Amino acid sequence: MTRKHDKIKKHKDSEAEQAQAEEPEVAMEQVLKEKEEILGQLQRVSADYANFQKRVPKQIADSVAYQKERLITSLLPVLDNLEHTLANVGSAQSVDVLVKGIEIIYDQMLDILKSHQVEQIAAAGEMFDPSKHEAMMHRSEPDRQDNIVLEQLQKGYVLNGRVLRPSRVIINKQASQAPRAACAEPADGDEIEQAGGADEGTEQCDGE
């Protein structure tokens, strides 16, 4: 009985030793399997990123081309109407007819700009806002509020709330105020022309 028991014990010990010997191999196989899985994931991520880098510039270029095409296409009817108006200048019955045609084209152009989220900046009668207005001159009108825009010399525009071009304006400055601080000179090559010059009592800014 003792001999049989010893034999069974030795068999169990041998199995335990074999299992212990196999454990590092099993662990190594598991590590290698996980390594292969992680490597495969990294390779897929790397391939996706490479495709992303190739795809995004093309998408941006396609989007820009589409927007340009959309803008140009929307302007073509204005060009057609302008061409038609010019072609009928000689046959126009009066100046009023010609002016009316030009006004229609102007309104059509404004509608197209609005469809592209471009709007004019309100100026005359508004309080001077340096973020939207550029003071070109000042004039003193005692019966008007100080720093209010008296006249717009050139219209400004915003795109989605961002200023594309500020409105060039004449602002009201009371005699007791120092008006030149908010003034600016016209940019080179972009001067404002006024028939007959500035109004009496209007001073042009000197850029100080």
Which CATH number is 198's domain given?
A: 2.30.22.10
98: domain range?
Answer: 66-115
Do 146 and 110 share a domain, yes or no?
Answer: no
| pLDDT for residue 170 | 92
Coil, helix or strand for 41?
A: helix
Smallest Cα–Cα separation from 171: which of 122, 131, 136? 136
Q: Is residue 31, in this structure, part of any structural domain at all? A: no
Coil, helix or strand for 120?
A: strand
State yes or no: pLDDT of 74 exceeds 70: yes
| pLDDT for residue 196 | 39
CA dist 106 to 89, 123, 179, Å? 17, 19, 35
Q: What is the mean pLDDT of the chain?
A: 76
Do 141 and 105 share a domain, yes or no?
Answer: no
| pLDDT for residue 184 | 45
Amino acid at 117: Q
| pLDDT for residue 55 | 83
Q: Is residue 70, in this structure, part of any structural domain at all? A: yes
The pair phi, psi for residue 161, each rounded to 5°, is: 85, -5
| pLDDT for residue 160 | 87
**Cβ(81)–Cβ(109) below 8 Å:** no
Q: Is residue 29, in this structure, part of any structural domain at all? A: no
- How many other β-carbons are positioned within 10 Å of the β-carbon of residue 57? 9
Q: Is residue 61, in this structure, part of any structural domain at all? A: no
Torsion of CA 108, 113, 118, 119, to 10 degrees: -10
| pLDDT for residue 207 | 42
What is the rounded average pLDDT of the residues 77-101?
Answer: 79
Q: Is residue 44, in this structure, part of any structural domain at all? A: no
Q: Is residue 55, in this structure, part of any structural domain at all? A: no
Domain's final residue, options 85, 115, 145 = 115
- Cα–Cα distance measured from residue 183 to residue 56, given in angstroms and rounded to the nearest whole number: 45
State yes or no: pLDDT of 133 exceeds 90: yes
Q: Is residue 94, in this structure, part of any structural domain at all? A: yes
| pLDDT for residue 76 | 87
Q: Is residue 90, in this structure, part of any structural domain at all? A: yes
Do 173 and 137 share a domain, yes or no?
Answer: yes
Do 95 and 139 share a domain, yes or no?
Answer: no
Domain's final residue, options 115, 149, 174 = 115
What is the rounded average pLDDT of the residues 135-163?
Answer: 88
| pLDDT for residue 179 | 47
Between 91 and 53, the more confident residue is 53
Number of domains in the chain: 2
| pLDDT for residue 135 | 92
